[in-house]
């Protein structure tokens, strides 16, 4: 008798047969989009109910399946996926939290359906209640069941707001590439419009994109002031004095530039770029000619660039109009990963760097009108000190401080730093005492400035004022103390002895020739120093601690490392 032929399985052939590769991340994104765009969740649930789908996924994606099932209204399927997930991956704590929350929700739902005392088990009907969405109140269990769907909806709205604000050329954007072994990076054009999914990939760090600012008609919807660290500070390790200077300038830049913009009707959104500096974004209500934007932003940059030696300001767009087939300059989109440095960018001054929390800051963006650009196009007279309405009262009470902060680079850095961080170094205190201390209202001004410090001692301030002799500290010595390399401020008349108080219109020079900036009687200076130390030790009740230079905060340190 003949044996029936048995079908032969070629193991080698089966092993070498190409296996269909499934992009599960793309599949889940399509399911999320379909759930948002369509009212019928049945097609989504049919896919999610396939056990072989979520069993081969990593725990994070399997959890997304559970959330999708819950958002589609099938709590049992969501619980089934979570049970498998906690058994297979017991260390995945997020799945345990989601499972416990869902079980509590289902328990409350069953309790409310049965009523007090488990009336269903005794055959007593529970009181009828309005179904959700038909006049009844939405209970907490229903809100929790709807939470994944609501979170997806909020994410879609936030991404749409991001895409609406950061609009560049209509038919093209750019993708960043980097070769870390060679230390090089650049961009390649992507010849299609930027889409929501591209934004999500950028925010989640899978890709990094940039936009070409000029549209086809040479108009723009936003402008950028790019503040990059000068190359000399990126190529070599920084000395202590350079780091102090960099810290002062960084505080000054991040405070003063937005203030100047608000005064001119040009509010901005500041961002650490993830590379070598900061971006200041300016959003316009309607598309504006690139030439007008460039003139206005250049006028704004000219007001602060002379005060900076560590940062170089650059205006984007760089062109007034497109030429030929060129796309113009581009700017990296915010909240992405710089492919060369690996650092994320984030908006300032928020400390929460999660991209979802960062997107919420875009709700406060105020678009700029074309009229504000026209007003800033013509540079203002240098003699006019313009202050924001919120600071007008301060400027009226302390006009000396407002003028000196505006016109003197060194004092501007110190005063803004004190106002922003409430800290001063020993050298900065010496400079303030040696300049403001010679004004007619010195006591009033110095108590106001030093009153912002946590270690403020009014008796120490009065004592230091009583010891002032001679003339104000000169510009050369101040620059030497602060490590400033910039030139001394120009004055209408060449002074015999340049010092910052010459910026104050009501300052009058004494008739006598200025004395040297040193104490002639060294023994008297030593005695005064000993007296001051005894007073400080008596006030503190202990030996005065040494003043150490604090390191830069983590966010600021990232923006200044080479």
pLDDT (tens digit per residue) in 364-395: 898 998 888 888 765 544 444 455 556 677 77
Beta bridge partners of 498: none
pLDDT reported for residue 355 = 87
- Are 170 and 260 contained in the same domain? yes
* Closest listed residue to residue 293, CA positions, set 221, 228, 379, 212: 221
- Give the residue from 467, 484, 509 where a domain finishes: 509
The CA distance from 420 to 167, in Å, is: 32
Assess if residue 545 is contained within a domain. no
Please tell me what DSSP assigns to residue 455: T
Contact call for residues 374 and 292 (beta carbons, < 8 A): yes
Mean pLDDT value across residues 441-447: 86
Mean pLDDT value across residues 329-347: 88
Output the CA–CA distances (angstroms, integers) from residue 531 to 427, 455, 536, in the order listed. 20, 19, 9
* Closest listed residue to residue 505, CA positions, set 496, 516, 493: 493
Contact call for residues 324 and 216 (beta carbons, < 8 A): no
- Are 330 and 182 contained in the same domain? yes
- Give the residue from 467, 493, 509 where a domain finishes: 509
Give counts: helices (H), strands (E), the chain: 22, 9
- Are 88 and 235 contained in the same domain? no
More confident residue, 1 or 431: 431
pLDDT band at 282 (very low <50, low <70, confident <90, very high): very high
- Counting the structural domains of the chain, the total is 3
Q: Say how many C-beta atoms besides its own lie within 10 A of residue 13's C-beta.
A: 8
- Are 179 and 315 contained in the same domain? yes
More confident residue, 368 or 505: 368
The CA distance from 434 to 438, in Å, is: 7
* Closest listed residue to residue 427, CA positions, set 502, 500, 497, 478: 478
Question: Residue 307 is part of a domain; what is its CATH number?
Answer: 3.90.920.20
Mean pLDDT value across residues 26-43: 79
Helix then strand then coil, in percent of the chain rounded to 5, is 50, 10, 40
SS3 513: coil
The CA distance from 474 to 26, in Å, is: 66
Give per-residue pLDDT as tens, 518-547.
444 565 566 667 666 766 766 666 444 444
* Closest listed residue to residue 433, CA positions, set 451, 445, 420: 445
The enclosing H or E element of 288 equals strand 277-289
pLDDT reported for residue 273 = 85
DSSP letters of 89-144?
-TT-HHHHHHHHHHHHHHHHHHHHHHTTTTGGGGTPPPPP-PPBTTTBPPPHHHHH
The CA distance from 99 to 83, in Å, is: 7
Give per-residue pLDDT as tens, 166-182.
998 988 999 998 888 88
Q: What percent of the chain has pLDDT over 90?
A: 14
More confident residue, 76 or 226: 226
The answer, yes or no, to whether residue 158 has pLDDT greater than 80, is yes
DSSP letters of 312-346?
EEEEE---SS--TT----EEEPTTSB-TTT-PBPE
More confident residue, 47 or 387: 47
pLDDT reported for residue 147 = 59
The answer, yes or no, to whether residue 159 has pLDDT greater than 70, is yes
pLDDT band at 270 (very low <50, low <70, confident <90, very high): very high
DSSP letters of 11-78?
HHHHHHSPPPP--HHHHHHHHHHHHHH-S--HHHHHHHT-HHHHHSS-HHHHHHHHHHHHHTT-HHHH
- Are 407 and 358 contained in the same domain? no
Assess if residue 216 is contained within a domain. yes
* Closest listed residue to residue 48, CA positions, set 20, 23, 73, 17: 73
The enclosing H or E element of 206 equals none
Mean pLDDT value across residues 268-289: 90
- Are 86 and 174 contained in the same domain? no
Sheet holding 311-316, edge to edge: 311-316, 219-229, 277-289, 269-272, 346-347
N-terminal to C-terminal alpha carbon distance within the chain? 85
- Are 72 and 190 contained in the same domain? no
Assess if residue 382 is contained within a domain. no
The answer, yes or no, to whether residue 14 has pLDDT greater than 60, is no
Assess if residue 548 is contained within a domain. no
pLDDT reported for residue 511 = 60
Assess if residue 423 is contained within a domain. yes
Mean pLDDT value across residues 76-100: 85
Assess if residue 121 is contained within a domain. no
Assess if residue 46 is contained within a domain. yes
Mean pLDDT value across residues 191-220: 91
pLDDT reported for residue 135 = 43
- Are 264 and 406 contained in the same domain? no
Mean pLDDT value across residues 41-47: 84
* Closest listed residue to residue 308, CA positions, set 260, 232, 253, 235: 253
Highest mean pLDDT among 52-56, 117-121, 354-358, 411-415: 354-358
- Are 294 and 399 contained in the same domain? no
| Domain extent for 470 | 389-509
- Give the residue from 470, 494, 509 where a domain finishes: 509
Q: How much is the mean pLDDT over the chain? A: 77
pLDDT band at 287 (very low <50, low <70, confident <90, very high): very high
- Are 364 and 217 contained in the same domain? yes
Assess if residue 79 is contained within a domain. yes
Q: What percent of the chain has pLDDT over 70?
A: 75
Residue found under tokens 């105020």: 366
Backbone angles phi, psi at 552, to 5 degrees: -65, 145
Q: How many residues does the chain have?
A: 562
The CA distance from 413 to 420, in Å, is: 10
pLDDT band at 13 (very low <50, low <70, confident <90, very high): very low
- As to burial, measured by CB atoms within 10 angstroms (0-12 exposed, 13-18 middle, 19+ buried), residue 169 is buried
- Are 151 and 188 contained in the same domain? no
- Are 413 and 298 contained in the same domain? no
């Amino acid at each position: 008798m003949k044996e029936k032929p048995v079908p032969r399985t070629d193991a080698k052939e089966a092993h070498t047969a190409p296996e269909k590769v499934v992009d599960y991340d793309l599949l889940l994104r399509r399911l999320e989009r379909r759930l948002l765009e369509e009212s019928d969740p049945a097609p989504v649930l049919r896919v999610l109910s396939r056990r072989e789908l979520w069993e081969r996924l990593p725990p994070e994606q399997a959890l997304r399946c559970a959330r999708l099932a819950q958002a589609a209204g099938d709590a049992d399927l969501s619980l089934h996926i979570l049970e498998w997930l906690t058994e297979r991956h017991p260390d995945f704590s997020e799945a345990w939290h989601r499972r416990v929350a869902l079980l509590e929700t289902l328990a409350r739902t069953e309790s409310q359906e049965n009523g007090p005392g488990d009336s269903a088990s005794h055959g007593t009907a529970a009181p009828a209640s309005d179904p959700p969405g038909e006049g009844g109140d939405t209970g907490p269990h229903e809100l929790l069941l709807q939470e994944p769907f609501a979170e997806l909806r909020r994410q879609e709205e936030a991404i749409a707001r991001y895409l609406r604000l950061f609009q560049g050329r209509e038919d093209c954007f750019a993708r960043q590439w980097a070769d870390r072994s060679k230390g090089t990076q650049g961009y390649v054009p992507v010849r299609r419009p930027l889409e929501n999914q591209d934004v999500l990939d950028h925010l989640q760090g899978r890709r990094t994109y940039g936009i070409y600012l000029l549209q086809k008609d040479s108009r723009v919807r936003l402008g950028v002031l790019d503040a990059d660290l000068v190359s000399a500070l990126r190529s070599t390790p920084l000395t202590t004095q350079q780091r102090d200077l960099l810290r002062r300038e960084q505080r000054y830049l991040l405070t003063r530039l937005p203030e100047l913009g608000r005064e001119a009707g040009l509010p901005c959104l500041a961002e650490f770029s993830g590379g070598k500096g900061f971006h200041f974004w300016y959003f316009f209500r309607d598309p504006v000619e690139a030439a007008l934007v460039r003139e206005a932003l250049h006028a704004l940059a000219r007001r602060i660039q002379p005060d900076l030696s560590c940062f170089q300001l650059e205006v984007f767009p760089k062109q007034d109009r497109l030429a030929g087939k060129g796309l113009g300059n581009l700017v990296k989109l915010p909240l992405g990963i710089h492919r060369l440095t690996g650092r994320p960018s984030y908006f300032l001054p928020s400390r929460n760097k999660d991209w979802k929390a960062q997107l919420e800051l875009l709700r406060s963006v105020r678009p700029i009108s074309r009229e504000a650009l026209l007003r800033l196009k013509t540079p203002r007279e240098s003699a006019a000190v313009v202050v924001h309405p919120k600071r007008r009262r301060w400027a009226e009470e302390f006009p000396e401080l407002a003028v000196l902060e505006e016109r003197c680079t060194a004092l501007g850095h110190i005063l803004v730093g004190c106002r922003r961080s409430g800290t001063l170094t020993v050298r900065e205190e010496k400079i303030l005492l040696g300049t403001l201390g010679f004004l007619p209202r010195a006591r009033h001004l110095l108590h106001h400035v030093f009153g912002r410090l946590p270690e403020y001692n009014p008796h120490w301030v009065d004592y230091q004022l009583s010891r002032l002799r001679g003339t104000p500290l000169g510009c050369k010595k101040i620059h030497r103390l602060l490590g400033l390399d910039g030139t001394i401020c120009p004055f209408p008349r060449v002074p015999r002895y340049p010092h910052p108080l010459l910026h104050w219109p009501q300052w009058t020079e004494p008739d006598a020739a200025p004395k040297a900036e040193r104490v002639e009687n060294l023994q008297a200076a030593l005695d005064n120093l000993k007296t001051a130390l005894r007073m400080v030790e008596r006030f503190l009740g202990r030996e005065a601690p040494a003043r150490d230079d604090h390191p830069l905060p983590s966010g600021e340190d990232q923006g200044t490392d080479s």
